[in-house]
């Protein structure tokens, strides 16, 4: 199996290489002209940044095999829903409780959801990426044709972000896709959704936890998170029923009543006309059924993957349950 996976990885790399045509000098010159003429940067500055950015094959390879697309659900889940990550989440909650409560009150997003996002994205801020953001974005902007338009926009946003927030453009590090800090915001999201959580006049998603937590909550708030509403419901089929399939659409395209009519069994007091979508994932024992509600769709605005959405939800729920247990034990002992 190891040899087979290695062969597949090698084949994927070869296919990716076949798709990639290195950017011409004209592509870079057009970007430099845009930043100079449209956004007021000094030409020599933009030329220096772009000219010194390193094209990295490891970034191109990583883009070809994101975990959400190559792993089945049961393997993907095991990356994030672990005893270590849950316990670390409890510690994180206790350490940042005041900031989490403030962010939740300000945005209407539950603490458990904010913790789940930070836990999945960067293990509560521990793993934020070791690539220079300028290298990641330049590599993808000029040497990854399948998404060059998107990443040239992100490179442009990064120039603007570093100017707005007073960041050194060559020093910031992040993921292979140019996402930054504990919440892993790409530059356009950083500029659009980050907030100044502590009122110091800056939006620092690299090290200021008040800004970080409020910004995660604000991201969901802007995408119409509904305070206090459910996120997802586990569902089952009666024994012997024909298994269901689903395209796992992100947005709700059915109702709870429709899903009940398909034979799914789940507990909910919500009315039958509540918008919902059917999620069918691969567990070790066969199909695993979930029902995604409006707030689940909001989670997938952060990362357009049902597996990501479910992992962040489940991690947040597991941490919240463990925090509640610890609180009850402490209360009983006092």
Residues serving a catalytic function are 121
Q: Are 291 and 259 in contact (CB under 8 A)?
A: yes
**CA dist list (Å): 68 to 98, 262, 305, 310:** 33, 27, 7, 11
Smallest CA-to-CA distance from 134 within 63, 53, 62 is with 53
The residue written with tokens 């430099």 in the block is 32
> Strands of 232-235's sheet, edge to edge?
232-235, 286-292, 275-283, 254-255
The half-sphere exposure of 294 on its side-chain side, counting CA atoms within 13 A, is 13
Q: Are 262 and 253 in contact (CB under 8 A)?
A: no
The residue written with tokens 């896709």 in the block is 177
Q: Token pair for residue 48?
A: 């220096």
Radius of gyration of the chain from Cα atoms?
22
**40-44 contacts, C-beta under 8 A, 24 or more apart:** 41/159, 41/163
Q: Which of helix, strand or coil describes residue 31?
A: helix
- H helix or E strand, kind and range, residue 275: strand 275-283
Helices of type H across the chain: 2-19, 25-37, 43-52, 57-63, 67-70, 73-80, 83-95, 97-107, 111-122, 133-143, 148-165, 187-193, 209-222, 256-261, 294-299, 306-333
Q: Which of helix, strand or coil describes residue 151?
A: helix
Q: Token pair for residue 70?
A: 């190559």
């Amino acid at each position: 199996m190891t040899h087979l996976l290695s062969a597949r990885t090698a084949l994927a790399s070869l296919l990716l290489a076949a798709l990639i045509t290195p950017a011409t000098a004209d592509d870079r010159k057009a970007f430099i002209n845009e930043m100079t003429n449209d956004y007021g940067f000094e030409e020599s500055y933009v030329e220096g940044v772009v000219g010194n950015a390193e094209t990295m094959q490891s970034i191109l390879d990583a883009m070809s095999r994101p975990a959400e697309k190559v792993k089945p659900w049961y393997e993907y889940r095991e990356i994030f829903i672990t005893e270590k990550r849950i316990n670390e989440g409890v510690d994180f909650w206790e350490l940042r409780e005041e900031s989490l409560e403030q962010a939740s009150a300000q945005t209407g997003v539950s603490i458990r959801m904010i913790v789940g996002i930070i836990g999945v994205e960067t293990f509560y801020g521990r793993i934020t990426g070791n690539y220079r953001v300028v290298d990641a974005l330049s590599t993808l902007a000029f040497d990854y044709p399948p998404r060059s338009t998107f990443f040239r926009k992100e490179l442009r946003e990064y120039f603007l972000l570093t100017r707005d927030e007073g960041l050194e453009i060559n020093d910031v590090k992040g993921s292979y896709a140019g996402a930054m800090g504990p919440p892993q915001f790409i530059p356009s999201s950083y500029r659009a959704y980050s907030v100044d959580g502590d009122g110091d006049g800056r939006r620092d998603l690299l090290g200021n936890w008040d800004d970080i937590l409020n910004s995660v909550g604000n991201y969901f708030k802007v995408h119409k998170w509904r305070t206090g509403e459910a996120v997802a419901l586990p569902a089952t089929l009666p024994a012997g029923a024909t298994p269901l399939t689903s395209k796992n659409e992100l947005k709700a395209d059915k109702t709870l009543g429709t899903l009940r009519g398909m034979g799914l069994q789940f507990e909910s007091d919500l009315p039958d006309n509540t918008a919902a979508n059917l999620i069918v994932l691969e567990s070790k024992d066969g199909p695993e059924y979930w029902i995604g509600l409006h707030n689940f769709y909001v989670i997938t605005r952060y990362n357009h993957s049902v597996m990501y959405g479910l992992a962040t939800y489940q991690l947040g729920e597991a941490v919240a349950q463990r925090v509640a247990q610890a609180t009850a034990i402490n209360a009983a002992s006092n």
